[in-house]
Chains A and B, each alone.
Chain A
Amino acid sequence: MIAEAGLAALWLAAAMALMQLAMAALGLRLKQDELVSAVRPAAIVQGALAVLSFGLLVTLFLRSDMSVLLVAQNSHSAKPLLYKFAGAWGNHEGSMLLWVTVLALAGAAIALLEKKLDRATLTATLGAQAFIALGFYAFLLVASSPFTRLDPPALDGLGLNPLLQDPGLAFHPPTLYFGYVGLSIAFSFAVGAMVTREVGPVFARAMRPWVLAAWVFLTIGITAGSYWAYYELGWGGWWFWDPVENASLMPWLAATALLHSVNVLAARDGLRAWTLMLAVVAFSMSMVGTFLVRSGILTSVHAFAVDPTRGSFILVLLAIYIGGALALYGARVGRVKAGQGFDLLSREGGLVLNNLLLSVILGIVLIGTLYPIVAQAMGEQLSVGPPFFNKAAGPIALLLVAAMAVGPLLNWRRDHVSALLGKLTVPLTLSVLVMAGTFAAAPGTGWMEIVGLGLAAGLAVASFAPLWKRKLLRTPLFTWGMVIAHFGVAVSLAGMAADSAFTSERLVAARYGQPYYVGPWRVVLNGVAPVVGSNWSAVEGRVTASRGPVDGPMILLRPQRRFYSSPPTDTAEASIATRIDGQLYAVLGAQDAQGRWQLRLWWKPFVTLIWFGGGLIALGGALSLIGRVKRERRNVMRREEAEL
Chain B
Amino acid sequence: MKRWTLWVPLVVFLVVVALAAWRLTGTSEMVVKSALVGKPLPEFTLPAMVEGKPGLSRADMATGKPRLLNVFASWCVPCIAEAPQLMKLKAAGAEIDAVAIKDSPEAVKAFLSRHGDPYARIGDDRDRLVQIGIGSSGVPETFVIDSRGRIASQHIGDIRAEDVPKLLKALEEAE
Q: Is the CB of A319 within 8 A of B9?
A: no
- Residues of B close to A301: CB separation below 8 A: 31-32, 137
Q: Is the CB of A376 within 8 A of B13?
A: no
Q: Is the CB of B10 within 8 A of A326?
A: yes
Q: Is the CB of A292 within 8 A of B6?
A: no
- Residues of A close to B9: CB separation below 8 A: 277, 280-281, 326, 329-330
Residue picked from A281, A315, A326, A376, most chain B C-beta under 10 Å: A326
- B17 CB-CB contact with A under 8 Å: yes
CA distance A224 to B3 in the complex (A): 42
Against A, the Cβ 8 Å flags (1 = close, 0 = not) of B130-142 are 0000000100000
Given A322-B13, A593-B104, A297–B24 Cβ distance below 8 Å? yes
Q: Is the CB of A370 within 8 A of B33?
A: no
- B22 CB-CB contact with A under 8 Å: yes
- A152 CB-CB contact with B under 8 Å: no
B20 interface neighbour in A280, A315, A333, Cβ under 8 Å = A315
Against A, the Cβ 8 Å flags (1 = close, 0 = not) of B1-39 are 101001101100110110111111100101111010000
Q: Is the CB of B17 within 8 A of A318?
A: yes
- B77 CB-CB contact with A under 8 Å: yes
Q: Is the CB of A329 within 8 A of B10?
A: yes
Q: Is the CB of B21 within 8 A of A315?
A: yes
CA distance A638 to B24 in the complex (A): 57
Kindly report which residue of chain B lies nearest to residue A305, judged by CB atoms: B30
- Residues of A close to B32: CB separation below 8 A: 301, 381, 383
Against B, the Cβ 8 Å flags (1 = close, 0 = not) of A314-337 are 010011001100110110011000
Majority SS of interface residues in chain B? helix
- Residues of A close to B7: CB separation below 8 A: 330
- Residues of A close to B77: CB separation below 8 A: 568
Q: Is the CB of B24 within 8 A of A319?
A: no
CA distance A292 to B13 in the complex (A): 13
- Residues of B close to A311: CB separation below 8 A: 24
CA distance A327 to B9 in the complex (A): 9
- Residues of B close to A288: CB separation below 8 A: 16
B10 to chain A, nearest CB (A): 4
- B116 CB-CB contact with A under 8 Å: no
- A374 CB-CB contact with B under 8 Å: yes
- A308 CB-CB contact with B under 8 Å: yes
Q: Is the CB of A370 within 8 A of B10?
A: no
- A468 CB-CB contact with B under 8 Å: no
Given A304-B157, A329-B9, A377-B22, A315–B1 Cβ distance below 8 Å? no
Q: Is the CB of B17 within 8 A of A329?
A: no
A303 interface neighbour in B13, B14, B30, B104, Cβ under 8 Å = B30
A594 to chain B, nearest CB (A): 12
- Residues of A close to B13: CB separation below 8 A: 284, 322-323, 326
How many residue pairs between the two chains, A and B, have CB atoms under 8 Å in the bound complex? 71
Q: Is the CB of B22 within 8 A of A292?
A: no
- Residues of B close to A284: CB separation below 8 A: 13
Against B, the Cβ 8 Å flags (1 = close, 0 = not) of A291-307 are 01001111001011010
Number of interface residues of A (CB under 8 A): 39
- Residues of A close to B22: CB separation below 8 A: 377
Q: Is the CB of B17 within 8 A of A308?
A: no
A48-98 interface (Cβ within 8 A of B): none
- Residues of B close to A333: CB separation below 8 A: 6
CA distance A377 to B9 in the complex (A): 21
Against B, the Cβ 8 Å flags (1 = close, 0 = not) of A246-276 are 0000000000000000000000000001000
A431 to chain B, nearest CB (A): 37
Q: Is the CB of B30 within 8 A of A296?
A: yes
CA distance A467 to B18 in the complex (A): 50
CA distance A312 to B13 in the complex (A): 16
A257 to chain B, nearest CB (A): 14
CA distance A318 to B104 in the complex (A): 51
CA distance A296 to B157 in the complex (A): 18
Against B, the Cβ 8 Å flags (1 = close, 0 = not) of A328-355 are 0110011000100000000000000000
Against A, the Cβ 8 Å flags (1 = close, 0 = not) of B74-112 are 000100000000000000000000000000100000000
- Residues of B close to A298: CB separation below 8 A: 20
CA distance A322 to B12 in the complex (A): 11
Kindly report which residue of chain B lies nearest to residue A312, judged by CB atoms: B24
- Residues of A close to B30: CB separation below 8 A: 296, 303-304, 306
CA distance A280 to B9 in the complex (A): 10
B105-125 interface (Cβ within 8 A of A): none
Q: Is the CB of A323 within 8 A of B14?
A: yes
CA distance A304 to B16 in the complex (A): 22
- A539 CB-CB contact with B under 8 Å: no
B31 to chain A, nearest CB (A): 6
- A244 CB-CB contact with B under 8 Å: no
- A373 CB-CB contact with B under 8 Å: yes
A323 interface neighbour in B1, B10, B20, B24, Cβ under 8 Å = B10
- Residues of B close to A312: CB separation below 8 A: 21, 24-25
- Residues of B close to A319: CB separation below 8 A: 17
CA distance A306 to B25 in the complex (A): 12
CA distance A297 to B16 in the complex (A): 11
Kindly report which residue of chain A lies nearest to residue B1, judged by CB atoms: A273
A315 interface neighbour in B6, B24, B31, B104, Cβ under 8 Å = B24
Residue picked from B9, B33, B137, most chain A C-beta under 10 Å: B9
CA distance A381 to B156 in the complex (A): 15
Q: Is the CB of A292 within 8 A of B31?
A: no
CA distance A32 to B32 in the complex (A): 58
- Residues of A close to B157: CB separation below 8 A: 304
- Residues of B close to A334: CB separation below 8 A: 3, 6
- Residues of B close to A338: CB separation below 8 A: 1
CA distance A277 to B32 in the complex (A): 37
A343 to chain B, nearest CB (A): 19
A359 to chain B, nearest CB (A): 12
Q: Is the CB of A370 within 8 A of B17?
A: no
Give the top 5 A-B pairs by smallest Cβ distance, nearest first: A326-B10, A330-B7, A330-B6, A311-B24, A326-B9
Additional pairs, 13, CB under 8 Å, beyond known A373-B19, A374-B19, A376-B23: A301-B31, A301-B137, A304-B31, A312-B24, A312-B25, A322-B13, A329-B6, A333-B6, A376-B28, A377-B19, A381-B33, A381-B35, A593-B104
Mind listing 10 A-B residue pairs with CB under 8 Å? A288-B16, A292-B20, A322-B13, A330-B7, A330-B10, A338-B1, A373-B20, A373-B23, A377-B22, A381-B35
Report which A residues bind B (CB closer than 8 A): 273, 277, 280-281, 284, 288, 292, 295-298, 301, 303-304, 306, 308, 311-312, 315, 318-319, 322-323, 326-327, 329-330, 333-334, 338, 370, 373-374, 376-377, 381, 383, 568, 593
